[in-house]
Structure 1
Amino acid sequence: MEYRKLGNTKLQLSAITYGAFAIGGNMWGGNEEQESIKAVQASIDHGVSTIDTAPFYGFGLSEELIGKAVAGYDRSKIQLLTKFGLVWDQSNQGKGEFFFDAADNDGNKLPVYKYAAKESIIREVEASLKRLGTDYIDLLQIHWPDATTPIAETMETLELLIKQGKIRAAGVSNYSLQQMQTSQQSIQLASNQVPYSMLNRAIEQDVVPYAQQNHIGIIAYSPLERGLLTGKYKPDFKLSDDDHRNGYFNQFSIGKVNLFLEAIRPLAQEKKASLSQLVLRWTTQKPGITVVLAGARNAAQAIDNAKAVDFSLSAEELAFIGQTFEGVFG
């Protein structure tokens, strides 16, 4: 495993970071608790020291499972990353910016709001610490921008939490260039967690250059486009009715995606790697990308993800992938 310094912080994160959205169950067709715990533990046992989660993932379930999974490990050697700013409980309902209606794992409808006011952040952090079974969070990130709360208020609260020792570093997620610039007026950001993949490279235009210039880490999420870049989904795919990917995949031409993947498959075979490992490795080697999130719902998937850094791609091989992509997608 490779370990990389996050921005200006003292944190060293694993290049492949365990992404814990799917084990929350909601929006992913349910959850299997013991398999999820084994997935987290298999990741750690294969060098993945960093775990990224959020209260919204399973409405607390993802954090609880991670707390159980890491209980037997040396906490000082594991980096726990979580978020705040998506609220659904009765005490906060109606505050902030309405985001969408979600369903929990029992099918109950819950309205979700973006809300990042001081008192709400402090309440969320205490709940996350309890669920994770720890007394500090390595990196706390606002999950989505909240238009109803001044960015300065949010960032000043994060600074307070750092001084209190509740968190070691503060980051953002899904922030634009302008929002990052505003945040920097109040705090030195550790990172911005943003979507990035072979199919979605928008952050290369402005977010990545700004991050590089200002020593801000980039945590890339959805590098496999929620499984689409593994090659296992065909145009006639059908997942369980409560799996959000039924709609998510519609933004892509699955036929073209699979054509591209088949064209680069020989390179994966040459590296004795799976397609998903090749895609993950490509992502870790892109300029400005600090770490890459990869989800796993069982131990086998977790181990496969961890091994994505067991090989490297040369400049010529990276160019081949780029040229192949352009040839398919134009």
Structure 2
Amino acid sequence: MNFIELNGIKLSRLIFGTGDLRKLNGTELLDQFVHAGGTTIDTAHQYNTAERILGTWIKENGHRDKLVIMTKGAHHDDGRPGPRVDAPSIRKDLFESLERLNTDYVDLYALHRDEPGVPVGPVMEELNLHLAEGRIKAIGASNWTYKRIQEANDYASSHGLTGFTFSSVNLALAAAKEPRWAGCVSADEETAAWHTRNQMPLLAWSAQAGGFFSGRFSPEDHSNADMVRVYYNEANWERYARAAKLAEAKGVSAMQIALGFVLNRSFPTCAVIGPRQHQELEESLQAMELALTEGELAWLNLEQEALAG
């Protein structure tokens, strides 16, 4: 297992996503992930059932000290209607998540969505309160633009507070045509350049683009409306073709090439994965060792026509 460090916290570069945990057959894949050296698990207050399953698994196995738990809160569609990026919602969601997870702290806490019109000051004040009281070890933003993160961190810096130390947005070889879910943010070229300048870790959700590179989809198959809506276009099918070609040359799968695209960046990255089978998890573990050059990354992303060498 490979790792990055964030605020003194050691994160496995593969992060086990629990959004679909309730659909899996028990927690066998979590056991496999930990056995392989994985430490970091992503969940959210909105994933109510998943948090409870995870909390029971942690308690039964005594894994808490070995794990890095990231949960998220203040989603705009979780609990009371309307904007929820505010101190009362953050506090409510955090305490409920801690209870479900059978722990008195989370390593990473992220705001699940943004409300762009909400002032950042009260939000950062509230998050810093929980940092000071030990309920959170590091704070970040999920589905915030880099400009809003910078705004929040500028406020924190000018008021003697701790700012966001990580971002979690969508980053994948297949570029999303539109948000997969309401309020989601995908990393564009400007976002990647900002992360490179600041070296802020990006914890990429849907790093494998919902399985777009698995071979289960084709331009003629429109049976999955969400995949068609988000990923089906000429550019992404060309990315798929290039990933398959490079995979054949390297003796790996197109899915592993796609995951390598996320993990081989000019800034620190981790990839949130959602395996549903043991073999899918094993392939993701193997992909961590895959090295891709800048030229290969640019070619895969259609930034150049020829693959050098």
TM-score normalized by the length of structure 2: 0.83
- Indicate the SS of the match to 2:70: strand
- Indicate the SS of the match to 1:208: helix
> Which of 45, 49, 57 in structure 2 is aligned with 1:55?
45
Q: How does 1:145-294 map to 2 (within 5 A)?
A: 145-147=114-116, 149-184=118-153, 185-186=155-156, 187-200=162-175, 203-237=187-221, 246-253=225-232, 257-258=236-237, 260-294=239-273
Preserved contact between residue 116 and residue 148 of structure 2 (Cα < 8 Å): no
Q: Which amino acid aligns with 1:292?
A: A
- The residue that corresponds to 1:301 in the other structure is 280
Preserved contact between residue 39 and residue 301 of structure 1 (Cα < 8 Å): no
- Rounded to whole Å, the distance in 2 between the matches of 1:51 and 1:174 is 18
Residue 93 of structure 1 pairs with residue 77 of structure 2: no
Preserved contact between residue 229 and residue 275 of structure 1 (Cα < 8 Å): yes
Q: Which runs of 5+ in 1 are unaligned?
A: 25-30, 98-114, 240-244
- Indicate the SS of the match to 1:206: helix
Preserved contact between residue 229 and residue 257 of structure 1 (Cα < 8 Å): no
- Structure 2 vs 1, CA of residues 267 and 73 (structure 1 numbering), >3 Å: closer, same or farther? farther
Q: Which runs of 5+ in 2 are unaligned?
A: 157-161, 177-185
CA RMSD of aligned residues (A): 2.7
Residue 40 of structure 1 pairs with residue 27 of structure 2: no
Bigger RCO (CA 8 Å, 6+ sep): 1
- Rounded to whole Å, the distance in 1 between the matches of 2:53 and 2:21 is 8
- The residue that corresponds to 2:12 in the other structure is 14
- Indicate the SS of the match to 1:63: helix
Preserved contact between residue 40 and residue 66 of structure 1 (Cα < 8 Å): no
Identity of aligned residues (%): 23
Q: CA deviation at 1:277?
A: 1.3
Q: CA deviation at 1:204?
A: 4.5
Q: Which amino acid aligns with 2:80?
A: Q
Q: CA deviation at 1:270?
A: 4.0
Preserved contact between residue 52 and residue 100 of structure 2 (Cα < 8 Å): yes
| Deviations 1:16-69, CA, capped at 9 Å, x for gaps | 211222325xxxxxx2441xx112221222222111111223xx0121222233
Q: Which amino acid aligns with 2:215?
A: G
Greater shift, 10-19 or 155-164, is seen at: 10-19
Q: Which amino acid aligns with 1:41?
A: D
Preserved contact between residue 2 and residue 309 of structure 1 (Cα < 8 Å): yes
| Deviations 1:187-223, CA, capped at 9 Å, x for gaps | 3211111111123296343333333434422111222
- Rounded to whole Å, the distance in 2 between the matches of 1:17 and 1:289 is 14
Residue 2 of structure 1 pairs with residue 36 of structure 2: no
- Structure 2 vs 1, CA of residues 258 and 210 (structure 1 numbering), >3 Å: closer, same or farther? closer
- Rounded to whole Å, the distance in 2 between the matches of 1:271 and 1:69 is 38
- Structure 2 vs 1, CA of residues 256 and 12 (structure 1 numbering), >3 Å: closer, same or farther? same
Which structure shows the bigger proportion of residues in strand conformation? 1
| Deviations 1:137-173, CA, capped at 9 Å, x for gaps | 0100001102464321111111111111101000001
Q: CA deviation at 1:323?
A: 5.3
> Which of 62, 78, 82 in structure 1 is aligned with 2:71?
82
TM-score normalized by the length of structure 1: 0.78
Preserved contact between residue 173 and residue 239 of structure 2 (Cα < 8 Å): no
- Indicate the SS of the match to 2:32: helix
Q: Which amino acid aligns with 1:157?
A: E
